[in-house]
């Protein structure tokens, strides 16, 4: 598998956002400013709570199919390869990793079978679009930790997706959870979220390598990144951490991550987190403490690294 020099794009975009000229300009800047060759378009469906079984992917909280198709075609015009990543989030703010149900069906309680039916319908909808547009990869889930033990159900889902989509399929597990997925053999590529602390990358790469080796599958970090605030390099996954803006800390995180991973030829790239569809003004980059790198020192680190591959 070729090296994936990627960025996640459009997270949180709502209906109409991809129609704005700023969105296409943002994607163009992503390609130019980071030397990316892949874009991962991440979609965020809703379910009411972590214990709800109905997934809503047709509301105004998501870009329309028409917008998505147009944006993928625009990405192609920029010579970008494309992955589509349909995810789901509980509307009450609970992280999707906590979606969970009883393993033994109980009358009047929500059931795994109902959730997987709705989730599979959701995945198939976008898998059909990915097939129509010849997307290079499809990501069937992201950081859904409590669901990962449902081996039979995930295998069935992947099998259904393969009926309509014929490109590469991966699943994006969460940081530290690489060994939690026993069904890696069902997908084509193994991926996880690379939110590991500054200075700990070598340890984590040693651990991950041993876990994935038996499956003999390509591996990449479908997410990885760090906010630009004090303390974030120690807990880069914590988007709610409070701290003063610190562009240098974000820069050092990227330097450390790339220095460690470039020595491991089995790490086949990144889908860095994240590049917004609607950017802030570049002269205000030093006022942003989120994961964005536009106009920050980390942006140059990324471009230099991607350009060197």
At residue 196, the pLDDT reads: 98
At residue 130, the pLDDT reads: 98
At residue 258, the pLDDT reads: 98
Give the whole-angstrom CA distance, residue 174 versus residue 144: 7
The pair of structure tokens assigned to 6 is 């990627």
pTM of this prediction exceeds 0.85: yes
Peptide bond into 274 cis (omega under 30): yes
Residue 110, Cβ neighbours under 10 Å: how many?
18
pLDDT 10s digits, 103-161: 999 998 999 999 999 999 999 999 999 999 999 999 999 999 999 999 999 999 999 99
Helix (H, G, I), strand (E, B), or coil: what is residue 284?
helix
At residue 219, the pLDDT reads: 98
Average per-residue pLDDT for the chain: 97
What mean pLDDT is predicted for residues 89-105?
A: 95
The domain that holds 106 is classified in CATH as: 3.20.20.80
At residue 153, the pLDDT reads: 98
Helix (H, G, I), strand (E, B), or coil: what is residue 154?
helix
* Range(s) of the domain holding residue 139: 4-308
Number of compact structural domains in the chain = 1
């Amino acid at each position: 598998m070729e090296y994936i020099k990627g960025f996640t794009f459009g997270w949180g975009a709502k209906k109409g956002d991809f129609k704005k000229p700023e969105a296409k300009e943002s994607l163009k800047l992503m390609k130019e400013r980071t030397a990316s060759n892949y874009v991962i378009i991440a979609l965020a469906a809703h379910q009411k709570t972590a214990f709800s079984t109905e997934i809503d992917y047709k509301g105004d909280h998501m870009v329309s199919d028409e917008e998505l198709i147009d944006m993928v075609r625009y990405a192609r015009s920029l010579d970008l390869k494309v992955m589509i990543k349909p995810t789901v989030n509980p509307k009450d703010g609970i992280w999707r990793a906590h979606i969970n149900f009883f393993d033994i069906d109980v009358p009047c309680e929500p059931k795994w079978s109902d959730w997987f039916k709705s989730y599979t319908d959701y995945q198939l909808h976008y898998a059909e679009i990915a097939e129509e547009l010849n997307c290079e990869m499809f990501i069937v889930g992201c950081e859904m930790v409590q669901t990962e033990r449902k081996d039979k159900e995930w295998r069935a889902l992947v099998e259904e997706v393969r009926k309509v989509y014929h490109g590469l399929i991966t699943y994006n597990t969460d940081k530290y959870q690489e060994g939690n997925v026993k069904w890696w053999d069902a997908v084509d590529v193994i991926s996880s979220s690379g939110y590991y602390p500054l200075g700990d990358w070598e340890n984590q790469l040693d651990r991950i390598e041993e876990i994935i080796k038996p499956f003999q599958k390509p591996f990449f970090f479908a997410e990885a990144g760090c906010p630009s605030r004090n303390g974030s390099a120690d807990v880069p996954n914590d988007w709610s951490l409070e701290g003063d803006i610190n562009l240098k800390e974000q820069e050092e995180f990227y330097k450390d991550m790339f220095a460690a991973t470039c020595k491991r030829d089995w790490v086949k790239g990144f889908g860095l987190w994240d590049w917004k569809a609607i950017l802030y003004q570049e002269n205000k980059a030093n006022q942003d403490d989120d994961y964005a790198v536009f106009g920050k020192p980390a942006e140059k680190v990324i471009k230099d690294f991607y350009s060197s591959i």
